[in-house]
Amino acid sequence: RQSLLTGGSSFGEPSSSTEPVGAPSRQDLVEGITKVFADPEVFGDASDDVAHLRAILRDRCSHEDDAPSAQLAFLCDRYVQRFQKRMAILQKRGGERRESLLAERHWAARLKAFLNRPFASIWSRAYYGIVSLLVVGSCIALIVQTIPAYNPALFKELQGRWNAAELAFAGLLFGDWALRLLAVCFEPAGRRNRSAHVITFLRQPATVLDFCASFVPATLALSGDSNSVFQIFTLLRVFRIFFSLRHFDAFEDLEDTIRSSLPSLTGPLIALMVV
């Protein structure tokens, strides 16, 4: 920076002579501006002075043919372009870091991590254990209903009890689905295009299966239809356990396998439901 300040007048305030800066210091200016490119400490500090010098040199080149001034103007242009590029990179990194800090502090981001990462904390493990018990309990209830002694189709007085149990399971699991939807709607990651972010979440296979596994059995319980083939959606709740573990490598491979096999399994699944 001291090299840029060489001359009879202060930098940025040209002297009364015809030179934009003192003539003997022109070589010093060339060397000083060149050194700035390789010196990160003065790179930002000298940006305003170099921009001012560029304006002075351009004005001189417009009035007379001055090759040294044109050379200095070119160096100033290169400097300002590089400075602007580096500042853009720093601003981008700062914005990403700021968004990361906001995400860590935002309640929706913490809620999403709490629901989707079961081993993040003790409370996450406890919540995941409760959800797993609800899933396993609802599947066991469906299996027990096939036993003749507990079959609601044979003993009508058991129909109300099984429906109440199914509504309880479905309501709690639907509440878990609603909490995850709430976290996605308000998390900082989707604030730029919130509607597209929510639609992307709703189109995920895990979200669709989780919703169907809660909504369809509850609808059947309210209608009193205990023999419907659509009760198979109750068994789909088992996938809720795996969806919470999809952040781990082994379960990511399993999820990819299921996703790739789902189109070919759609036909047999529909045939099984019809039969």
- Taking each helix axis from N to C end, the angle separating 122-144 and 159-186, rounded to the nearest 10 degrees, works out to 150
Asked if 103 and 188 count as a contact pair (C-beta separation under 8 A), the reply is yes
- Taking each helix axis from N to C end, the angle separating 47-63 and 67-105, rounded to the nearest 10 degrees, works out to 150
**Integer Cα distance of 166 and 171 in angstroms:** 8
Region of poorest pLDDT, from 44-58, 72-86, 95-109, 251-265: 44-58
**Integer Cα distance of 174 and 191 in angstroms:** 25
Region of poorest pLDDT, from 4-18, 143-157, 164-178: 4-18
Question: Is the pLDDT reported for residue 207 higher than 80?
Answer: yes
pLDDT band at 53 (very low <50, low <70, confident <90, very high): low
Q: What long-range pairs does 149-158 form, CB within 8 A, spacing at least 24?
A: 152/226, 153/226, 153/227
Phi-psi domain of 66 (left: phi exceeds 0; alpha: psi -120 through 50; beta: other): beta
- In this prediction, residue 102 carries a pLDDT of 57
Q: Which residue has the higher pLDDT, 245 or 110?
A: 110
* Number of other CB atoms surrounding residue 215 within 10 Å: 15
Region of poorest pLDDT, from 151-160, 163-172, 231-240, 241-250: 241-250
Q: CA nearest 201: which of 184, 177, 188?
A: 184
Question: Is the pLDDT reported for residue 150 higher than 50?
Answer: yes
**Integer Cα distance of 37 and 29 in angstroms:** 13
Q: CA nearest 169: which of 211, 216, 135?
A: 135
- In this prediction, residue 62 carries a pLDDT of 56
In terms of average pLDDT, the best of 152-156, 168-172, 216-220, 251-255 is: 168-172
C-alpha to C-alpha distances, 250 to 73, 131, 247, 257, nearest whole angstrom: 59, 21, 9, 11
Instruction: Give φ, ψ of 10 to 5 degrees.
Output: -70, 150
- In this prediction, residue 217 carries a pLDDT of 82
- In this prediction, residue 5 carries a pLDDT of 38
Q: Which residue has the higher pLDDT, 262 or 201?
A: 201
Q: What long-range pairs does 222-226 form, CB within 8 A, spacing at least 24?
A: 222/163, 222/167, 224/159, 224/163, 226/145, 226/152, 226/153, 226/159, 226/162, 226/163
The ranges assigned to domains in the chain are 3-104, 133-262+266-270
What pTM value is reported for the model?
Answer: 0.52
**Integer Cα distance of 134 and 173 in angstroms:** 8
pLDDT band at 22 (very low <50, low <70, confident <90, very high): very low
**Integer Cα distance of 18 and 144 in angstroms:** 100
First-to-final CA distance of the chain: 84
Asked if 209 and 135 count as a contact pair (C-beta separation under 8 A), the reply is no
Question: Cβ contacts of residue 64 below 8 Å, gap of 6+?
Answer: none
List, for residues 105-145, the tens digit of each pLDDT value. Answer: 678 888 887 887 777 788 888 998 898 898 888 888 888 88
Q: CA nearest 132: which of 55, 245, 256?
A: 245
- In this prediction, residue 178 carries a pLDDT of 92
User: In percent, how much of the chain has pLDDT > 90?
Assistant: 2
Question: Is the pLDDT reported for residue 15 higher than 70?
Answer: no
